[in-house]
Structures are given as C-alpha cells and as structure tokens.
Structure 1
Amino acid sequence: MVLSTDKVLLPKEVATVITKRAKDTSTIAALSPSEPQLFLDKEYMVFTGNSEAEVIAEGEQKGSYEETLAPVVGKRFKVQTTTRVSNELQWADEDAKLEIISKIQDDQAAAMGRVLDYVIYHAFDPKKKAALTGFDALAANAVQVTATDNRVDDIDALAEQVNDEYDINGIAMSKTMANELRKIRVPSTGQRFYPEIPLNLQVGNLDGIPAATSGTVNGRLITPVTGILAFLGDFRLIKWGMVRDIWSEIIEYGDPDNTGKDLKGVNQIAYRTEAVYSYAILDPKGIAVLKAPTTTTKAGK
C-alpha cells in the first residue's frame, strides 16, 4: 500500500506533545498558559477595576465611580514550516502514518515554538528574517529599562518599573542574561548568588518566580542585534492559543516552497506543518523589558 499524501490530522495526544515541546523554545508558552481560540479576531474587554470602598455617615450621599472598558483585539497569524527530504524516507514511513509525525516533530515543533516568541516579542518573521507589518512588538511597547553593569540591580530595576497594579509572575531571559546571572558570586563566601540557574541555563525559577531562557528573547536571528536581555512582569497579560489543530501534510509533487526545484525532479518529498495562532497583549505596561544601552530594536518599529 502506497503512503497516502492527504493531510494528516495530529491526534490530540500528539498535538499535546508538540505543545509541550514548544515550551523548550518558547518562553511565552512556558510562562503564559495557552487558551482555546476561535477563528475570529477575539476581542478582550479589559476591566481596570478602579473601585474603592468608601466610608459614609448615616444619611450621607453615596458616591460612585465610572468604569471604562478598553477593548483589546486579538491578532491571528498563520505559520508553516516545510522540510524537504529524500523520497526514500517515504517508504520507511509506509507502515504507519504516525511515523511521519515522529520524523518532523522535533524540528518543526521547535520552529512552531520559536515563531510565537518572535512574533509577540519582536514582530519578526524568523524564516524570512524580516520585520512584520501590522504587528506591534512587545519589545517596543513594554516599559523600557536600560541595563547597567550590575545584573542584580537590573533585576531590581525591572521589578520596580512594572506597574504595581500587576503581579510579577514570570521572567523570560536571553541566554546571555542567564549566563551572566549564573556567574555572579557572593564576595564573602564565593557561593553563587543565583544557584537556581544550572549550567545548561534551563532556568525553572528565579527569585521565587517562574523563569524561562531562550535565544528568542533577544531575537538571535534579528539584525542588528536588539540588545534585549529580559522581559519581566505579568505574563498573564499575554493571551495566546491555537485557533485550529496542527496539520501535517506530505507533499510529493510540485515546488511547494518556491525553490525552483520540482520535488519529483530531485527525488524529494516535503513535510509541511501548519498552525494558526491568535494572541493579544492586554496591557504592555504590565511587562518591563531590559535592554543593553544604546541599542534599538529593528523589528516592529
């Protein structure tokens, strides 16, 4: 039986695995839980909660306050990644369609995770290596904090700049930032100031809050360099989710990625994974971004 080239819907348990693996490369997926999304430009009504109780005397006129609901419209974006391989792999996968998923899962799922951070943090397309039009980068709209030569002071400065109406429940760090914090020692004892940062820089928490590290924070693929070291604040303000199930497709014919090479002509087949994300940032001022001095963010400007 020849392998079918129809689209293959990922079983729920497989899709869950992909979501979990995305956390290895997406700090947003690690720090902000996903929510189910509809194929709509979802509108979030932001309730500011200005109410305060008043003390009134007997017979005194009761006061009130005006509440303004500020709508924030979610934004959808479709992502895909296509991998060309020798068509000999087609026969190895003939016995089980799920094997197709296992071959592409590691590489393409990691890419699906990275793109979430690149779009939300930087308004940047990591494949085309270009800024996205019509997207607002969190890096440009969050509270701006300029880094100093003292990373401990920088963490304190980030915390001080987050609007006190919000909780600080996460920090996303570049690998540069995590490595610099890992090296800081207590002068009197020589012990590490942040012992929770391991050698592999896969930080689970920092100063008692959830932490994640990735090259997507500073946008490793962006030129010129962004100089971004960390984002800290209320990551619940980032609402995101997948609008539709992740689809994987086997393509045998044509030139699906416009390389100028027909698949049959070069004895190849292509594996393509697609998904549709939706996200909204309810209030960028609930998150602070730490940047090295005299640097600017090219993407999203």
Structure 2
Amino acid sequence: MRDLSFIQERMKSADNCVIIGGGAIGIETAYALRIHNKNVTIIEMEEQLLGGILDPDMASMVENYLESLGIDIIKGKRVDEVDGAECLKQVISGDIAISADMAIIAAGFKPDISLALHSGIEAVPAGIKTDEMLKTSADDIYAAGDCIINYSSIDGKPVLSRLATSAFKQGAAAAGNVMGADERYRGTAGTFVTRIGTFEVAGTGFNSVTAASRGFEPASGKITSKIKPEYYPDNSDVTVKVIFDKNSGIILGAQCAGERGAAERINLISMAIEFGITLDEFCRTEMAYAPPVSEVYDPLLRAADFGVRRMKRR
C-alpha cells in the first residue's frame, strides 16, 4: 500500500513512465498508467513479454494488445543507466534513451531468507528448503510462501513460482501440520491469469521451452475459435494452446488468451496436470453446451483434439 500511495502521488506530476520488467506485474502496471493518459514504455530484457510463462506466439498477442493501446515495448534490452540526480530525466538502455519522469521496477524478486539462515535453517538463494509437510530442517519449524523453494507438480523438480494460490495452499498445509494434521503440499503447476483492459491471458504448467529444458519432447495443439456458436451475438474469439509430451502424451501445460474464457479453460488443464492425465484422456471430457453460454465443440477440446491428431501422425 505504501508503494501504491507513492505511485499515485508521483503520477500527478509524471507524464512519461518507464516500466522495467515485462512480467504480469509489469504489464498490469503499464496498463494502469496508460489509462491515466501517461506515456508508457516497457523495457524487457528477454525477447518477449511474460517469458517463462507463455510461448512467443502467445506472448505476441499480449504485446500486440498493449501496443494497440499506445504502450511502447522494448524487448531484448537491459537498463544500463537511470539518469537524473534529484529528479529522474531519462532511462538509458543500450543506445536508446527514453524520457522518463517516473520509473517502476518490476523485474523479478529475491526471497528474504536472512531469518532462516540466522537461525541455522537450511536454505539456498532460491529459498528455504522444506519437505512435503512444509517442515524445514529445524524441528517444529514450518515455512510457506515466497520464501521457500517451490516444486513442480509435473516433474517434482524445483520451479520458480511466486503465486498467491501456491502460498495459500502452502500456508493452509503448514498450519494444519503445526496442529498435528498430515497435510502434504505436492507442488504447483504455476497456474496464473491476468487481465489488462478487455484482454485476458492465462497459463499453467510448462511452456514449450521449459518443457524441453526439463527433458520432455514437447508438441502442441493450438486453435483460435469463437466461444459461442458463430450465429450468436455477444461473441468473441479465444486462442488456446495445449502443450504435451510426444512420447507419453502427458499434458505439460496450456496457454489461453482472449476477451473472455481464458481462466476457466486453464483451470481445467491445471486439474488435468495435477492428476497426470494424457491428452487423449482429456479429449473424452464432456463440456456443458448451450448457445448463449458456450460452443458445442469447445475451443479447448478442439486444441486438444488437434494435438492428439498430431501425436498419432508420428
């Protein structure tokens, strides 16, 4: 809240704003500033926004929407210098100088593990080590939230995830275990959603690059389709991409973007990941249909079916 109050006060005299970082917080902040008629530039060191979450083709949809609002995006560049002694004047990235009255850094995070280290609790720079019960290396001490190392529910390996949903589940499990329960936290699929203006984007599991780096052989099924029958009013497009392992058929992740319906479809894939469902098994899902609400052949199932056909053509 202190940061918010400071930003709101600073906005009164700032016309040119630079957001350093193109993750979810970065793009949400950029949108919030833009609708207040500020000139906004996002600087992202990777070659796409929402790196590590979306595949480049899905990220480009987010980028195109932001640019349509008049937000400038600089990708593949680091911030080298922030110029201005008493008052910010510009942000310098390589050979580019961007006029700036205000700069907001939304470029990652680092867990504060100083208390744990001081207490002799086992930890590494990525966070405090815990077991399935959220118990640390010290007797009767539990940890949860952004300060701990999280694990993927797909392959059980450490994963960078700082989501409220994960922290909530960890906190509930840790609290139960403190009281003598047998609650086990089994990791995260990294399920997220954000909305910027009229555009909703969601994802879960691994993107294609992450899946490949963890030893899988990823492939995907992707479709853009209406969320209701073509003839029905108040309709819109949604793009769905489902990622799976070519060898086992196990669902590894999914991404979804459009005006509506991204979160509900990604939540289904998150559950499929949790139970290790294959793409072929997922395609047996029967979804509710009525023209005012949904399409008889849901875009999510269409994308999954397309993936199955690709897999069987091998």
In the superposition, the TM-score normalised over structure 2's length comes to 0.23
TM-score, normalised by the number of residues in structure 1: 0.24
- Say which structure, 1 or 2, has more relative contact order (CA 8 Å, 6+ apart): 1
